[in-house]
Structure 1
């Protein structure tokens, strides 16, 4: 049975857990600054197995940043920042493409792209339209 695909939230949590597993021994309040510095340098010199099984090198700066973040905001501060993706394709163009597809469902994305380009002077790629149509289908 295939494993279910992880969501972005699952991957972000896995990354945060990985970061925590690296910094936990370094964030021990009983360590002196000298001891912590030595441990951070030692950890930065190693190759680690990343959250998704690949070899990863982590810099001292990243380890220090993660320690500061964890101290300031706990586990949630170790989560990667969410991407703020703004659509590049104008909504009107996508609406026109959706109307054209609804008029004749057999039209291909490439055909619709040619029609949109003829009407608007510009059209998104056929692949962009395919993704848009896939999001519209329940």
Structure 2
């Protein structure tokens, strides 16, 4: 387990019932995750920063995150709990992309992000949405 400051926490019995996002696809080397200390994994620190940003400025999305993963191309991917929608953020300009995603969500009206199978944000100032078929 890891906290919002990227410190590695000891395992606790409530982990199994806690509704917290899972981090996957990151380097599993145990030396990167010393208990009681900040992780040495740059990518995990970036993922924690993404979660912190979402928690602060886009709480509805944060509460719907099942997982943040790093794909084979080192793109950050958010997987939502509902349906499960995949949001590919890419590698760069993550905060800008989160703001675009928030604006997109607000413009949907009655629809929701989970009405889409995939939201691909790897492209410059663009969001590619694929609906469920």
User: For the superposition of Structure 1 and Structure 2, which TM-score range results when normalised by the shorter chain?
Assistant: under 0.3
Q: Normalising by structure 1, what TM-score?
A: 0.21
Q: Normalising by structure 2, what TM-score?
A: 0.22
Structure in which a larger fraction of residues adopt strand = 2
Larger Cα-atom Rg: 1
